[in-house]
Structure 1
Amino acid sequence: MARTVAVVADRIAWEERRLIEAGPAQGLSVDWVNDESLCLGAADTTALHGYDAVLVRSRSYTRGGLVATLAEAAGLPVLNSARAINACENKALLRTVLRTAGIPVPDFRLVLSRKDFAKALQELGTPVVLKPIFGGMGKRVTLIRDSDIAHSVYDYVEDLGHAFEQACLVEPFLAGGSSVRCLVVGRELVGAAEFATAGTDWRNNAALGNHSSALAHDPDVVKIVDAVVGELGAGIYGIDLFRTGDGYVVNEVNHAPGFRAVAGATGVDIPAAVAAYVQELLA
């Protein structure tokens, strides 16, 4: 009898559809469960009752960790762990966790007010990147090249309605034009692709349509990926690296990674790898 897996997400995108399609070949029956219809909290997690495992792919920057926490409390196997998802959802928390573990991350400053912002500019100089702590897909990530316009840019942050939205990081701009997305399944690096900016957009993000190409085996990439997984635990991650003169640094770790670009660049059947890993956990 097929084991049942709930893919918890706000919608079915390309990745979720491929995961659902890949299940039967690995003896899995995979269903989409809308993360807006769970109403978790009861001890038997009614909406997830009967599933053998839960794969959290919520794109919200709060839902994933909450869903994973309550599903774990009900005794369900959850990918990724609540601890890992909570870290990935919060850029400041993630960078602190990784830096404490000795894993290189970009220099950064937490900005919660205009006074913080002014001090960050004074300490880091320009150009800098201003980015929300909770967010992804390159949205609201702003390159500030000139100190003369920095405070005008921050006006827009102050106009956001909630402190949740206003919490930001400021970091030095690492010029170079490319970044690396590493796809991890379990503890294995199954594929890596290099992204280069498309057109005039300086941001390296697959969601923005950047150009991607397969990355050859690089021991330095493997080393840093192994360190991240060693800290967060086995799971399914998109680990984004920047190259610097001193080696790679970890920019972000995505707990519900888009993998279409990496799959296309490398030819790796990532949905099959995910399904096989889930089946291995349930065996």
Structure 2
Amino acid sequence: MSSISRLPRIGVLANEDSWYFRDLQRAAAGLAEVERLDFGALRSQIGGSECIDAGVKISGQFDAVIVRTMPPGSLEQVVFRMDALAALQRQGVLVVNPPRSMEMAIDKYLTLSILAEAGFRVPETHVCQTWQEAMQSYEMLGPSVVVKPIFGGEGRGIMRVESADLAHRVFKTLQQLGQVIYLQKFISHPGYDLRVLVLENQMWGMRRSSQDDWRTNLSHGATATPEPIPPEIADQARRAVEALGLVIAGLDFLPDGEGGWYLLEANAVPGWKGLSAACDVDIAAELIRFVVGRI
């Protein structure tokens, strides 16, 4: 974009009560004007040059947009939101993360498919559309599997299934709801995983530990401590972000108990509240500096 004398104007697609929006607003003081935008208010007007707004005009008025939430919606709503962000990108607005990368990363199946094809070690995963096929997969992957929604984060909607009877009920219910059935072989682990947050050429690591839950999400009560990133994991993190085309990402690595690691998933809208506290780093300030430097 052309040089500007005013402060850069950055829109943040975030929930009304978002801690992350407030953190970015704090970090941007004196560097940029930061305003909250609502995904649900996104709209487009086409007839000549396309104009996109979200209660306030974005096209031609904002220099960058940071995506800080990905609210649930119908397939049409999700597709339109990504299309609108892509249109803003074509207009010269910096979008973080890039829309095409967001499309890949919010889809667990597509993400895992790309990572597996690129040679990363991922959990054995089956994706089915009928409960009968899912039961066949359960027989192959069981007796303990993890069932996940293809879209979702922070551990929402994830459950562990450890019996054929429960699997039968869960898979039938998911099919009746029109859901794709996504199940992974449960990987025994020592009660922790490694979250690596990557922002362009920087990365930070934290260990997420849980004594009472097989899930290590902080939202489910896990604790966070700073953790050195092993060189092989740092290399994998860089390659994974590059494969998905992400600028900022949270990557979850799970130890196999034998010195190796699985790459579980990549989060294109990563939280940093716990990591900032654990690692004593101002991630919001780092992100604002990055965005302002790219405008």
Superposition TM-score, scaled by structure 2 size: 0.87
**2:138 is aligned with 1:121:** yes
Q: Find the aligned partners of 2:288 and 2:45 in 1 and give their Cα distance.
A: 28
Name the SS for the 2:172 alignment partner. Answer: helix
Name the SS for the 2:148 alignment partner. Answer: strand
Tell me the equivalent position of 1:181: 195
Q: Find the aligned partners of 2:109 and 2:58 in 1 and give their Cα distance.
A: 31
- Whichever residue aligns with residue 181 of structure 1, its letter is R
> Kindly tell me: are residues 65 and 205 of structure 1, through their superposed partners in 2, closer, same or farther at Cα, counting changes over 3 Å?
farther
Of 232, 244, 259 in structure 1, the residue corresponding to residue 244 of structure 2 is 232
Tell me the equivalent position of 2:69: 58
> Kindly tell me: are residues 229 and 103 of structure 1, through their superposed partners in 2, closer, same or farther at Cα, counting changes over 3 Å?
same
- 1:29-85: CA deviation from partner (whole Å, max 9, x where unpaired): 111111111213541324313001111122225376344223223332111111110
Q: Find the aligned partners of 2:120 and 2:69 in 1 and give their Cα distance.
A: 26
Name the SS for the 2:22 alignment partner. Answer: helix
1:78-93, aligned counterparts within 5 Å?
78-93=95-110
Query: Which 4+ stretches in 1 moved above 6 angstroms?
Result: none
Tell me the equivalent position of 1:37: 41
Q: Find the aligned partners of 1:22 and 1:135 in 2 and give their Cα distance.
A: 27
- Whichever residue aligns with residue 200 of structure 2, its letter is G
Q: Find the aligned partners of 1:3 and 1:107 in 2 and give their Cα distance.
A: 45
Tell me the equivalent position of 1:257: 270
Tell me the equivalent position of 1:193: 206
Tell me the equivalent position of 2:75: none
C-alpha deviation, 1:265, in angstroms: 0.9
Name the SS for the 1:139 alignment partner. Answer: coil
- Whichever residue aligns with residue 32 of structure 1, its letter is R
C-alpha deviation, 1:248, in angstroms: 2.0
- Whichever residue aligns with residue 281 of structure 1, its letter is R
Calculate the aligned-residue CA RMSD, in Å: 1.9
Q: Find the aligned partners of 1:256 and 1:131 in 2 and give their Cα distance.
A: 18
Name the SS for the 1:36 alignment partner. Answer: helix
Q: Find the aligned partners of 1:237 and 1:12 in 2 and give their Cα distance.
A: 22
Q: Answer yes or no: is the 8 Å Cα contact 1:80–1:236 preserved in 2.
A: yes
Q: Find the aligned partners of 1:131 and 1:21 in 2 and give their Cα distance.
A: 35
Tell me the equivalent position of 2:20: 15
- Whichever residue aligns with residue 236 of structure 1, its letter is I
C-alpha deviation, 1:136, in angstroms: 1.6
Tell me the equivalent position of 2:184: 171
> Kindly tell me: are residues 79 and 124 of structure 1, through their superposed partners in 2, closer, same or farther at Cα, counting changes over 3 Å?
same
C-alpha deviation, 1:97, in angstroms: 1.1
Q: Find the aligned partners of 1:248 and 1:66 in 2 and give their Cα distance.
A: 35
Tell me the equivalent position of 1:204: 216
| Unaligned segments of structure 1, at least 5 residues | none
Q: Answer yes or no: is the 8 Å Cα contact 1:198–1:211 preserved in 2.
A: no
Q: Find the aligned partners of 2:214 and 2:13 in 1 and give their Cα distance.
A: 32
> Kindly tell me: are residues 246 and 79 of structure 1, through their superposed partners in 2, closer, same or farther at Cα, counting changes over 3 Å?
same
Q: Answer yes or no: is the 8 Å Cα contact 2:161–2:167 preserved in 1.
A: yes
- Whichever residue aligns with residue 172 of structure 1, its letter is K
Tell me the equivalent position of 2:285: 272
Tell me the equivalent position of 1:48: 58
Name the SS for the 1:45 alignment partner. Answer: strand
Superposition TM-score, scaled by structure 1 size: 0.90
> Kindly tell me: are residues 207 and 66 of structure 1, through their superposed partners in 2, closer, same or farther at Cα, counting changes over 3 Å?
farther
> Kindly tell me: are residues 66 and 243 of structure 1, through their superposed partners in 2, closer, same or farther at Cα, counting changes over 3 Å?
farther
Segment of structure 1 superposing worse, 61-70 or 258-267: 61-70
Tell me the equivalent position of 1:218: 230
Q: Find the aligned partners of 1:159 and 1:17 in 2 and give their Cα distance.
A: 40
Name the SS for the 1:277 alignment partner. Answer: helix
